[in-house]
Structures are given as C-alpha cells and as structure tokens.
Amino acid sequence: MSILSSLRRAGPVVALAALIVGCGAPESNGSAESSSNPAGSAEDDMAADRRVVMFLGTSLTDGYGLEREQAYPALIQQKIDSAGLPFEVVNAGLSGERSAGALQRVRGWLLKQPFDVLVIETGANDMLNGLPVTALRSNIQGIIDTVRAAKPNTRIVLVGMLAAPNLGRTYVDRFNRVYPDLAEENDVPLVPFLLEGVATERDLNIADAIHPNAQGHHVLARTVWKALEPVLRDAGTSQRGG
C-alpha cells in the first residue's frame, strides 16, 4: 500500500498529524543553533575544519516539545560523527513558519551564514492555512534560486510533506506533487515524506498526538539520513559552498 493510500485511510487522524507546526507552538527567536557544542581546543580546531549542514524548517526541525538535542537534526549530527564525515549541523528550524517566512529568512540573514549543504523542510503550515499550491511552489523555488545564485556550490536536499486527505482530492493531489516536481526540476535529492512511519503513530508522538516525540525524531533522522548521507559523502570531497 502506498503512503498516500495509507494517509487517506487514516482520515481525520492524519489531519491532526498535519498540525505539526502550528497548534499553539510558540515561535523561537529564529536563531540558527549548532546541534553540537565542541569543548576544548582540539575539538575547537576540528570544528573549525568542518563544513556546515543547515536545516531550514518548521517545528518538526525545531523539535517542538523537546530539547534541541532530541530533534532529528541533532540526531543527524550523531550519524555524521559516527560516519566520520567533516560536517557540523546547524538547526535553523522555526516553529510556526510558513514557506514565505522561510524564503524571507533565506534572503535575509540566513544567507549571510556559512553553509555547504541546505536541507529545506517547509510547507506544512501553508497547507494548514490553505495557501495556494502555486504560492508554496514559488516560495520553495525562490529558496533554491536564492541559494544557488549566492552560493552556487551549495548542495540542497528537499524534504517532502503530504497533505491531509480531508483538504479535498484536488488540493491534496496538487500539494503532494510540489515536492517531487521541484526535486526533479532542480535536480536535488528528495526525502519523499518526512513523517513516514511516524504520522498517526501514537507511540511516536508527544502527548498532543501531533508532534513527534524523542523516539519519533529517531525515525525522522533515519528517513532524512537516507537522502542526506550520499550528499554529504560527495560534498565532503568537493569545493565548499560558502
């Protein structure tokens, strides 16, 4: 059974699962924080040589309801370290953000930060607010275009989302096509569905039943790592993104 078929069968439960970004989540200060905190001169020297993987995202990336160390970007850092790859993760997740806000942040101060790989996770709040799919597509394309113009060597990974089935078949079909279409058009790796194996699973979400818990974020990390690891292994031997 396909992911989309499973979601349609789940009905209203998935509509709740889609509330991953709003639902009373307070906005953070928007600061991009490193998920690891090296201590000591030797580790400082190693950190200085590392390249940067920036995670641009919503409350899923921010780790709503959890400590930052429990969110999937920090877990990705553990996988990076275990693999011996020269990358430092920066969590630039912001709870409650829509794709237009993500584009604005990229065009503003985020673009001034050093990063070599950008992981883009946005769109769930757009869906909840009924934003036209054309606007979502335009905003994500704008992020990609902005980064490529300013940092042409930067690698980009796009993280996909699926629409809640109660939004209507037309909207759902159009929304669900945004991510694979953009990934193909821009030749970037795609994570098909960030919440694969987590949405609707009560044991993998916090008490509100809509935000992944610590165990759920381990699943998210594994899902993202499948697409990200090959990118990091290739980027680690190529020219820096800036």
152-207: pLDDT as tens digits: 999 999 999 999 999 999 999 999 999 999 999 999 999 999 999 999 899 999 99
What is the reported pLDDT for 239?
60
d(CA 79, CA 169) in angstroms, rounded, equals 38
Confidence of residue 241 (pLDDT cuts 50, 70, 90): low
- Decide yes or no: CATH 2.40.50.140 for domain 3-23+37-235: no
What is the reported pLDDT for 236?
73
What is the reported pLDDT for 26?
41
Name the residue with higher pLDDT: 2 or 92.
Answer: 92
**182 closest CA partner among 231, 240, 93, 120:** 120
Rounded average pLDDT over 233-237: 85
43 by DSSP, 3-state: which?
A: helix
Confidence of residue 238 (pLDDT cuts 50, 70, 90): low
196 by DSSP, 3-state: which?
A: coil
Q: Where are the domains of the chain?
A: 3-23+37-235
Its sign, for the CA torsion 76, 81, 82, 83, is positive
Helix axes 169-186, 133-150, angle to 10 degrees: 20
Task: Report the first-to-last Cα separation within the chain, whole angstroms.
Answer: 42
**Structure confidence by residue, pLDDT tens digits, 118-142:** 999 999 999 989 999 999 999 999 9
pLDDT at 14 over 90: no
Q: Are 215 and 67 in contact (CB under 8 A)?
A: no
The answer to which of 50-64, 93-107, 196-210, 228-242 has the lowest mean pLDDT is: 228-242
**227 closest CA partner among 178, 177, 182, 193:** 193
Q: Are 175 and 163 in contact (CB under 8 A)?
A: yes
d(CA 119, CA 106) in angstroms, rounded, equals 12
**214 closest CA partner among 70, 57, 78:** 70
Confidence of residue 41 (pLDDT cuts 50, 70, 90): very low
> What residues contact 208, with CB distance under 8 A and at least 6 apart?
23, 65
d(CA 95, CA 242) in angstroms, rounded, equals 26
Pairing of strands 190-191, 51-57: unpaired
